[in-house]
Structure 1
């Protein structure tokens, strides 16, 4: 049941492996409109973006949460509207950081403004880490990710991706054993193949695309091998937005999921709800678009 704790076999499900320490902001519902315009979805393209900031690494003391375990995380989360910016006084700013400001309502982690009876407004958020005792001339090393995503789900996914990317290649470091960026290995991510040179020409009732093979021979120094799997062809109507994938080619000799750049799976399903995997066409370096039905069953208009 939404809003209630999930308990399975007497165990409380937390819904996380470790706290995200993520603060975020989004476009709220216009109070002067009867429509639900969260995210301004009626616009084209819609303004569905959520913007957030999260702590990826901090040497601050660990936080002990409900399950009794210690995790790296934020010390406090606060917000205020632009009409109530803190005075340019250290004490005023510190009160917000400690959750002791009069506007903090006695909370280190301040609830969503709507939960506390405040209207939609232009709010600021403050995510803190600490406390630190910093000797003069010393340095505190913190890794902070500024992330955006489509809706709250997209923001959470991209925030998690930032953590995965940070610890990619690490020998010892994990979110359970946080390690600074100048220790261990970090950001050891795959290197995308070089972009092929594309040419195109009009045809009667269609368009012909052709590209070179340079991407197929790109060496990934991080992986120590050529890392190429295939091509995807996209098109948009009139303006470079709302892109639609119309063709895909791969070098795998097996049925696969067809996933576009937005992470959407394009395969059909059986009447039982099971995905139908597709054996995509082999690698080729040209494509003629006349519309019609593509490999995964979408009907395409004539370009």
Structure 2
């Protein structure tokens, strides 16, 4: 099954898009091969209680845009979906100005592997916990895989799910061990798939919104399954191989900027095959059992 990607996004950094009553989006100007056009920051609530979800990296222009968008209002909460450096470092300068309370699942799960280790939430949100965020009832869903402390957030009663980097309309998510786990990622996809009829609009951490998300989730699952089949076939054809040697046969031609990330996702799938007893490794070399 092909994944029905959506990459059209007219929002300009510094501007504010109203998505639904009490839900606004701003775009940070930090484009890259991994962040698309930049990090999405969401404002939940209005007036005397506004929550900022994922203030992004430290970026003076984006901080100014958040403050300008909420002029005359009160930012009471800062919520973090996960501690990658394009999502949570902006918490510190925003908190210094607003004094808002910070929320998240917890600190970065695997120190020393490139995450933002500075963020420690004042209030920790557990899986399935409902809290008042921006004056609205929001339920947190623990969805590790892309990041070990990743949360999605359901805006209860609206059909809106803030899917962060777990599910994005513009691209698949990078899953990079040891903080990323393909087994956890697939389990988290299944967890969201089980919410059919509840969530009808995903608002991701990068790129445009995703309406009718369930067929997209099916596409993500099929894509990872197909990738696993190609890895198994490559190992069968080539014999014991390193991750580096497998990238070309499995992925085909790639933008050089994406080769390293492809290798990390492949390693995640090999580790899942190892957990299932289908593959084994000897140092850097992998083989089928």
Relative contact order higher in (CA < 8 Å, ≥ 6 apart): 2
Shared fold by TM > 0.5?
Answer: no
TM-score bin, normalised by smaller chain: under 0.3
Q: Which protein is bigger by CA-based radius of gyration? A: 1
